[in-house]
Structure 1
């Protein structure tokens, strides 16, 4: 049985950042170029395994709506990382009026 991945809301992101967590955006290059959360690191989902050594120990995983990032967070947790998932992804972030940069 796999433990569920903790989720956070957009309002929780700021606290996590001040506590040293890295925002890891796992969307495609095209999605990333259309807008992202400022300060996030981009490693597309299909590159996570190959680039695992680039991923910090504590990450907030982000995608468009939360499905892909949940899978990445699960994988990272299995590799010993502390990972949480941003529920609703960038779409919820933007819908709540939080800034998106291009």
Structure 2
């Protein structure tokens, strides 16, 4: 499984495809402004919105790693963001709240 640290992802800038698979109530608390939100509960119906090479993020990395593995079995390469939004925040990277 391909993975990237929050710091490495941040260094790529905001012109990347970042998919946040957390549920709306989680995203309402804290989010990365340029991330597209596709909740895990909706992902099966929205797989066409996930481009090849997208970075996948959740709260701590568990759900996103499952998503990456699922798509690998479908023949699509995605990248898991290690530590999720928690790791992003712990690294002191910018987020929006509320």
TM-score using structure 2 length: 0.88
CA displacement at 1:80 relative to structure 2: 2.5
Alignment correspondent of 2:4: 8
CA displacement at 1:57 relative to structure 2: 1.5
Residues 21, 58 of structure 1: 8 Å contact kept: no
Q: 1:70 aligns with which of 65, 76, 95?
A: 65
> Would you say 1:32 and 2:27 are equivalent positions?
yes
Residues 30, 95 of structure 2: 8 Å contact kept: yes
Alignment correspondent of 1:93: 88
Matched pairs, number: 97
TM-score using structure 1 length: 0.85
1:53/1:17 CA distance change after superposition, 3 Å: farther
Q: Which runs of 5+ in 1 are unaligned?
A: none
Alignment correspondent of 2:47: 52
Q: Which runs of 5+ in 2 are unaligned?
A: none
CA displacement at 1:43 relative to structure 2: 0.4
Aligned mates of 1:41, 1:99 — CA distance in 2: 16
Aligned mates of 1:57, 1:45 — CA distance in 2: 17
Alignment correspondent of 1:43: 38
CA displacement at 1:84 relative to structure 2: 1.0
